[in-house]
Structure 1
């Protein structure tokens, strides 16, 4: 007589995590990326000696300020706080408008930008972070290399973040896919519209030229460095009043230009919060705009910080990096 042996159910295998990186960028893509980075910078360098000849007018300054403000808020409110972190819900027109506004900054298409930033938070200041300044060590030479890498060097590499892992929600949204595919159009408009408006407002070809140079290319270059400074400076220098798993820091001199993004330690301590400047006197223009959207009924379920949550996140003594 034999005894039947109970068959143990097979343990289901855990699905393997999707890879961090997609296929590396091709040569044409690399050339395009480097052109977006270098041409505005070269324009900024060329604009300085040009200023001594016949200068920069009030029309150029006004156009540069408007395009800087709109496109920077597209990055900070749209790309960052809304699309990356879901700090609030938005109606469809606002959702599309924020994606287009962010594209005007010429810092990358919305889906790729969000994927990179989500990966940054998943591996902040560790292996896998696309732009940490701490990946090469702590010696002076390593920190100089790390600063360059975090500020802009990482953008010249061939690695591409895997969209399927880090931004599948945006890749599945037909509206956002359309805005993403039209990224070259938005960048073209970002540098050409200031030229058109400059020519119309001054009724001159010279106004069109200076509008293109200052409010177009030079503004984009300046804007790039403001955003990149959050990746580099705000992970190296500043106050760290809140607990986080990385070296993020609050750097007040950048608060206005970055529209509140340089309260970076506060952000990394509470990534989904709609307000980064959480203490009295910490200017956060992006949070104020989200507040306006909420009052208008265009945004809802806004994740505002609470005193109780801030108290739990606070460290006993502020530290300076």
Structure 2
């Protein structure tokens, strides 16, 4: 039986819930800093380490595999399915998407979805947790805004109210369970590549290099690609469709983001399963959703409709 992902529209049968739910705990703030900083340090060390030693095809293969797996867990699972309800999924697929998205180390699923629904509710306005336009339009203000949108917003103590923005997930026993598993899934996403590298090469060195490249560096690259959708894709790029915000399509990130950087198209039609809606716009996530649909694992997929796209299309583009 397919599960229902509820609309993010405010409820009308109860008093409005507050936007925030207090502050993150000191432990949560420490973990956010650790997850953001340690992989970034690994990424900074990657170039000198790779210069002539410490990187092999096993490391590359494992890094590509785990990057693709966890990135699609975020793009298809956390974003298009759980946040926007772009399709319905059977229980096995739902749990798999929740697990693989959690292994991207971008935080527990309920908090991630609540933050992103809040972003869409207040896009590029006061209340948006990661808009680059909150400080003004001067060069200094935009530099500050870019850093805030890219990763600075995560270091703020404000906690998005999940009871307001993700009540459907709070009421879902399977998702609550995966949410609680986040620490274990974090350990798994870091240790699995090392275990695989050690077994494939049958050496401790193979385990160590796989841990560096396919765990730390892979997580860091995925973090910065995801954060770039929040920052770059709200500052520069093509805006062919009408949207209430400054979202933009930024083609250089299309492959690494699995189609998420067609961001103006997404904000113009948030519940659509395909973000790359125009000819030549590669959207790997949408292609995999199409496969899930053919297999019968996904139903009621909200594919783009020509008449809706025509209504949203600007007469002049920016």
Alignment partner, residue 249 of structure 1: 248
Alignment partner, residue 63 of structure 2: 64
Alignment partner, residue 170 of structure 1: 169
CA distance in 2 between partners of 1:14 and 1:203 (Å): 61
SS in 2 for 1:197: helix
CA distance in 2 between partners of 1:28 and 1:14 (Å): 36
Alignment partner, residue 41 of structure 1: 40
Q: How does 1:176-255 map to 2 (within 5 A)?
A: 176-255=175-254
Structure showing greater radius of gyration is: 1
CA distance in 1 between partners of 2:13 and 2:54 (Å): 64
Q: CA deviation at 1:232?
A: 0.2
SS in 2 for 1:22: strand
The answer on 1:85 being equivalent to 2:90 is no
Alignment partner, residue 278 of structure 2: 279
Structural RMSD (CA): 1.1
Alignment partner, residue 140 of structure 2: 141
Q: CA deviation at 1:55?
A: 2.9
Gaps of 5+ in 2: 1-11
Q: CA deviation at 1:54?
A: 1.8
CA distance in 2 between partners of 1:178 and 1:94 (Å): 15
Q: Tell which deviates more after alignment, 306-315 or 16-25.
A: 16-25
CA distance in 2 between partners of 1:233 and 1:46 (Å): 24
What is the number of equivalent residue pairs in this alignment? 307
Q: CA deviation at 1:271?
A: 0.2
Alignment partner, residue 302 of structure 2: 303
SS in 2 for 1:160: strand
CA distance in 1 between partners of 2:258 and 2:145 (Å): 25
Q: Taking structure 1 as the reference length, what is the TM-score of the superposition?
A: 0.94
CA distance in 2 between partners of 1:151 and 1:29 (Å): 19
Q: How does 1:104-115 map to 2 (within 5 A)?
A: 104-115=103-114
CA distance in 2 between partners of 1:206 and 1:171 (Å): 43
